[in-house]
A and B are shown apart, each in its own frame.
Chain A
Amino acid sequence: EDQVTQSPEALRLQEGESSSLNCSYTVSGLRGLFWYRQDPGKGPEFLFTLYSAGEEKEKERLKATLTKKESFLHITAPKPEDSATYLCAVQNQAGTALIFGKGTTLSVSS
């Protein structure tokens, strides 16, 4: 069964304190792994797609990496505006749906 597990469930950081969010997955043939950001009361906002192990993508203070079993979202020198819930999802080779993790809620205080 395809499955995504995100950890930790919640993370509190001080502004400038770098950290990483983890997404572990099992999937019957990975077509793609996706990271989304979700602000309260809004829909998920697309951040990155990773297709194969070893791939990395960056956007501002965020960097996503992928291995055969997990993905990390590294946050460098976070700011309060980075506070949000970060969702990880995988798509299998059948490609008919995204399987989401439950998310990591990040709070960054100044």
Chain B
Amino acid sequence: NAGVTQTPKFQVLKTGQSMTLQCAQDMNHEYMSWYRQDPGMGLRLIHYSVGAGITDQGEVPNGYNVSRSTTEDFPLRLLSAAPSQTSVYFCASSPPLGSSSYEQYFGPGTRLTVT
């Protein structure tokens, strides 16, 4: 089990560029989510998905898009990068609600800098 994997680990973008952060899990988890972590702000939810084909917005969704075509993958797209999107991005997955345990497992993160 690789758990939750994220690529790339590091990325530098110029303002206005677009890119996709990749996230995959091999635990057959239905629930997946994206967080950003900024100094002094803690982890904040961007988007989440409760299963293939179903996504919804979290606390800070502006400037980001997601889709969920398979159970395993949950990519995060930055449409037009801005310096305010400089952050560390974490993907997480967990079993569905109603399971005996539903703790979220996190990937190693993608460190994004927008200049």
Q: Residues on A close to B: CB < 8 A?
A: 31-32, 34, 36, 41-46, 49, 87, 89, 91, 95-98, 100-103
- Counting chain B residues whose Cβ lies within 8 A of the other chain, the interface size class is 20 to 34
Residue in A41, A42, A46, A101 whose beta carbon sits within 8 Å of that of B104 in the complex: A46
Docked complex Cα distance between A36 and B90 (Å)? 14
26 contacts between A and B (CB under 8 A): A34-B104, A36-B106, A41-B109, A42-B109, A43-B4, A43-B106, A43-B109, A44-B43, A44-B106, A45-B106, A46-B103, A46-B105, A46-B106, A49-B101, A91-B102, A95-B102, A96-B48, A96-B56, A97-B45, A97-B59, A100-B35, A100-B42, A100-B43, A100-B44, A101-B42, A102-B40
Contacts A46-B103, A46-B105, A49-B103 known; A97 to B58 CB distance under 8 Å? yes
Task: Give Cα distance in the complex from A42 to B90, angstroms.
Answer: 10
Complex Cα spacing A31 to B98, Å: 11
Q: Which residues of B contact A (CB under 8 A)?
A: 4, 33, 35, 40-45, 48, 50, 56, 58-59, 90, 92, 97, 101-109
